Structure 1
Amino acid sequence: MTSDLRNRLLLLLVLPLCLLALVGVWMDYRSADDAASRHDQRLLRLLPALSDSVVAPSIHDNQPPLLLLAPPIEDFLRQNPGYSGYSVRDGDGKLLLGDDWVVSVVPTTAQPEFHSLEHGGVTYRVAVQRGRTGAGELVVAIADGSDPRQQWAQQLLLRVLLPNLVLVAAAALAIHWAVGRAFKPLVDLAEAVEHRSPRDLSPIDEAASPTEVRPLVHSLNRLFALVNAQAEGQRRFVADAAHQLRTPLAGLQAQVEAWAMMAKASGALAHEPERYEEKSMPAPMNKPQGAIVLRADQIEKLRNATRRTSQLAHQLLALSRADSRSLDAQPPQRVDLKDLCETLLESFLDAATGKGLDLGLEVQPVHVTGHGWLLRELMSNLVDNAIKYTPPGGVVTMRCGMRQGASGPPRVYLEVEDDGPGVPEAEHTRVMQRFYRVPGTAGEGTGLGLAIADEISHVHRAHLTLGAGAHGKGLRVTVVFPA
């Protein structure tokens, strides 16, 4: 947009300059033409003086005529040495006096005639007239090499075109620089908006913008405010809904877990599904009318459903907190990633062992500046995904340390690797979207784990990448923090 506008301004400003240059050429030519007209009038006045300068016996006496230069002719020749000449010829064009190179067609009338003559690299203006002289009827001609019109034609490139071209080129460069300087605030404004984070909806400083674009900046600020209010309302709704769901879901999950424990204690959870009767309950002997009888597999399904619902509410709350702009008001702290990984190892060790997985740890003592509870949530989602989708007997490894990048200084990284089914490379971008799961994925999930991890990475200006695990098997999720 700015480049097109700059080019249009250059075109609109340079074109008038070119037109002005052409007008200047035309005016210069008109000036030269006017001067040439005056010059012709001067030559025309000199012709009678040249005719009067011829005094000699008649040519019938076979004696050459004599020339006594009149003062005007003498002054003319003296003022233009090397650029003037004259000739006196008879009616047949034979040279009688003067310069042989001053030639012309013999006029048939007494009217003066003008023409141009090239001699010695100089273009001369020649005035010719047939008239009476002291030696009879002769043809007199006078030539002048200082004709302004002829000089203008010869010096057109040097005196007219070249200076105007230089002027237009210099003006174009000056305009290009001036337009670039004039549009710099607009370019800075465009770059500031382009490089903004999607979460940054703070207003743009109108005072720092040019007066002409302040209405646009005002409209952008109004749009930012509307979008921010809408996004804030959505975040509050998700956070409030997730927070309100946690308490009843926790109570329901505790009740279902209690039922499952009682069913196990009474032997109801066997390989063959049995009915969960009052025998597993220390209840009265007579069953109340309308009592609900649950089978063991139903209890297990209910327990799994409450666990998934509780996890979904927890993830929604974590996603809302990670996406909230209130993080800007919380000062970042120094986070020990080695300690964070060791704590998570203890938290997930039972779940990994219960599934027959080898949960390992490869850590170095490194630190980053950020929000510790968010980084814990990031790693928890990655480890939980790895344990959930890795088949029994697999290996899950957590790592942290320093890694040398392709360019620049070494950077701190967090990494979780497993040897499960992995994610196809074509799906790497889509699995970062919320609630998206790869078609055909086994197991149960919400499609929020990687989305939460990616959101938390953006909060810390880190870069999350997906890749294949060791030997091209499984999934490796790496989070590289800025230097």
Structure 2
Amino acid sequence: MGPSSRFSLKRQLLLWLLLPQIVLWLAGALFSYRLAGRYANEAVDATLLQATRSLARQVKPMGNGLLIDFPRAAQDVLEADPSDKLLYTVSSPPGQFILGNRNLPSPPAKPASPPLGEAQFYDGELDGADGDGQPASPVRVAALYLQFGENPKAQQTMLVQVARSSANRELLARRLLIDTMLPLSVLIVLMSMIVWAGVGAGLAPIARLRRLVEGRKPNDLRPIELDAAPQELRSLAQAINDLLDAVRHNVQGQRRFISDAAHQLRTPLAGLKSQSELALAEAPPGPLTMRLARVQESAARSAHLVNQLLALARTEPESVTRQTPVRLDLGRLAREVTAELVPRALQQQVDLGYDGPDCGDRDDDGADQATASESVEVTGIALLLREALVNLVDNAMRYAGRGSSVTVQVRRAGAEVELIVSDNGPGVPEALREQVFERFFRGTHEGNGCGLGLAIVKEIVERHGGRIALSDAEPRGLRVTLSVPAA
């Protein structure tokens, strides 16, 4: 199993879109931290430079010496904040302590001719605050070289240093980083949500195409309509439609052959059946009569098979789309079909009856007394629904046997209309109730059926958006229920 099979397309897109954002966010955080540190250094350096120049102004040359005008109040101001006090040192020449803190780190380089009047900034460590044995702490130091003395040829160099702890500088850098990265993080989260939604919306046509394909029945070969899809997905849909079109042409050829063959066989089989019946009626009793009876039975069975194949061809999607569904009264249709089949039922000694809305009494104007709430109207194709009912009643009379009773019922059940055909025959075992809807499957070897009746009924019911179910009749027998959406 390759990597492409372990990850979905959505996950891969999110990974390639969100991972660069995370990398850029980390790079932005590092850059912002460095930038914040630089700005913090600039702010601290400006403060140190001001303090250094102010301290240098308090040291005044006098003759060959120095006058230090540094009152105690000014010193208290510099050391007022114990957590962020300024440390200072004045030395002359560099290295000889005059005033301040002896532990300030020296400049990193001591040039032979140091730049005068130009401050230098550097980081160092203070080895114990005021020599009290505390651990070394990082500091930021500003150093300023000045000259003093009345004789220009014998001037001396003075070094003024002012230092501040780096802790506050780090705190300032962190605050700048937080203030910068917090809105950026919110923007990253919002962008990630937008990317997530955008990827979902971009992949929605694929999910819609999947539902269109998954929701289809095996015999539904209509082309897929996906005009609003992107060009890449439209190409995929077109490829699927080309495949469906090729399969449809192949299936149509097979169905056309079955329909043509059934039509061609219908007339000679009807003639064979008629001639065998006449020969059977005129032949004297004997072995020839038995052979003619078998011929007549085979001809009747073949004629029935041809009729069923023709009915099956009429239920196929291509045939259905050429017929327009209309609003019809299923109760009236069932009553008419039942009346038409009564002669056949009498011939087979079967008690055939109907129980439905059209059996009620009529008023003086001849209108049914059924109320609007009892309406059993459906939207469908009358020819197909008639074919389904004829197959159900024919199956019931054929397999229930002589002396049985068959009842056709029509009733309203919520948003559906139920057409029920029940008999008191042997019924169908529960283990076979799913298989009997398969084509050419017969649950019993009795009778001369061909195994297409219930398959045709199921096809017709599904074409009308309904369903079919088998259950036990009371006290015995089989109950077939067709449920079709009401009009």
The 5-angstrom pairing of residues 137-156 of structure 1 reads 142-143=163-164, 149-154=170-175, 156=177
Name 1:477's counterpart in structure 2. Answer: 480
The 5-angstrom pairing of residues 60-459 of structure 1 reads 67=70, 85-87=85-87, 106=103, 114-115=124-125, 125=139, 127=141, 142-143=163-164, 149-154=170-175, 156=177, 158-196=178-216, 198-205=218-225, 207-263=227-283, 266=284, 268=285, 274-275=286-287, 294=288, 296-365=289-358, 366-404=376-414, 410-438=415-443, 441-459=445-463
Alpha-carbon contact 1:333-1:371 (below 8 Å) kept: yes
Secondary structure of 1:417 counterpart? strand
- 1:97–1:482 distance in 2 versus 1, CA, 3 Å: farther
Deviation at 1:249, TM superposition (A): 0.2
Deviations 1:248-303 (A, max 9, x none): 0000000111122224xx5x2xxxxx24xxxxxxxxxxxxxxxxxx1x22222111
Aligned equivalents of 2:277, 2:107: Cα separation in 1: 134
Letter of the structure 1 residue corresponding to residue 18 of structure 2: V
Deviates more, 1:211-220 or 1:336-345: 336-345
Deviation at 1:455, TM superposition (A): 1.0
Deviation at 1:370, TM superposition (A): 2.0
The 5-angstrom pairing of residues 2-81 of structure 1 reads 4-38=8-42, 49=53, 52=56, 67=70
Deviation at 1:151, TM superposition (A): 1.4
Deviation at 1:97, TM superposition (A): 9.4
Aligned equivalents of 1:316, 1:297: Cα separation in 2: 29
Aligned equivalents of 1:110, 1:312: Cα separation in 2: 111
Task: Give the fraction of aligned pairs with identical amino acids, expressed as a percent.
Answer: 33
Secondary structure of 1:414 counterpart? strand
Aligned equivalents of 1:140, 1:23: Cα separation in 2: 36
Secondary structure of 2:244 counterpart? helix
Aligned equivalents of 1:105, 1:25: Cα separation in 2: 39
Aligned equivalents of 1:379, 1:114: Cα separation in 2: 102
Alpha-carbon contact 2:90-2:160 (below 8 Å) kept: yes
- 1:151–1:8 distance in 2 versus 1, CA, 3 Å: same
Alpha-carbon contact 1:114-1:127 (below 8 Å) kept: yes
- 1:7–1:398 distance in 2 versus 1, CA, 3 Å: same
Name 1:462's counterpart in structure 2. Answer: 466
- 1:249–1:108 distance in 2 versus 1, CA, 3 Å: closer
Structure 2: which 5+ runs fail to align? 61-67, 92-97, 109-121, 130-136, 149-157, 359-375
Alpha-carbon contact 1:44-1:127 (below 8 Å) kept: yes
Deviation at 1:170, TM superposition (A): 0.3
Deviations 1:204-232 (A, max 9, x none): 45643321223212212211211111111
Deviations 1:74-118 (A, max 9, x none): 9x97xx999963246899xxxx999xxxxx993586767635999
Deviation at 1:193, TM superposition (A): 3.6
Alpha-carbon contact 1:53-1:68 (below 8 Å) kept: no
Aligned equivalents of 2:106, 2:323: Cα separation in 1: 108
Deviates more, 1:246-255 or 1:141-150: 141-150
Aligned equivalents of 1:478, 1:469: Cα separation in 2: 11
Secondary structure of 2:448 counterpart? coil
Deviation at 1:427, TM superposition (A): 2.4
Secondary structure of 2:480 counterpart? strand
Secondary structure of 1:359 counterpart? strand
Deviations 1:353-386 (A, max 9, x none): 4444332211124332222221111111111111
- 1:324–1:20 distance in 2 versus 1, CA, 3 Å: closer
Deviation at 1:421, TM superposition (A): 2.4
Aligned equivalents of 1:359, 1:202: Cα separation in 2: 41
Aligned equivalents of 1:68, 1:441: Cα separation in 2: 125
Letter of the structure 2 residue corresponding to residue 4 of structure 1: S
Aligned equivalents of 1:48, 1:348: Cα separation in 2: 120
Deviations 1:417-446 (A, max 9, x none): 1222222333222211100123x5533321
Deviation at 1:49, TM superposition (A): 4.5
Alpha-carbon contact 2:44-2:169 (below 8 Å) kept: no
CA RMSD of aligned residues (A): 4.2
Deviation at 1:150, TM superposition (A): 3.0
Alpha-carbon contact 1:385-1:449 (below 8 Å) kept: yes
Aligned equivalents of 1:482, 1:243: Cα separation in 2: 33
Secondary structure of 1:412 counterpart? strand
Deviations 1:312-343 (A, max 9, x none): 00000110111151332222233333333233
TM-score of the superposition, structure 1-length normalised? Answer: 0.74
Secondary structure of 1:67 counterpart? coil
Aligned equivalents of 1:108, 1:182: Cα separation in 2: 63
Deviation at 1:5, TM superposition (A): 2.5
Letter of the structure 2 residue corresponding to residue 449 of structure 1: G
Deviation at 1:167, TM superposition (A): 1.7
Aligned equivalents of 1:39, 1:333: Cα separation in 2: 87
Alpha-carbon contact 1:239-1:321 (below 8 Å) kept: no
Secondary structure of 1:143 counterpart? strand
Letter of the structure 1 residue corresponding to residue 281 of structure 2: M
Alpha-carbon contact 2:467-2:483 (below 8 Å) kept: yes
Aligned equivalents of 1:50, 1:114: Cα separation in 2: 22
Aligned equivalents of 1:398, 1:105: Cα separation in 2: 116
Deviations 1:40-74 (A, max 9, x none): 75577568647646769xxxxxxxx86159xxx99
Secondary structure of 1:208 counterpart? coil
Name 1:407's counterpart in structure 2. Answer: none
Deviations 1:168-201 (A, max 9, x none): 2101111122223333444333333444455543
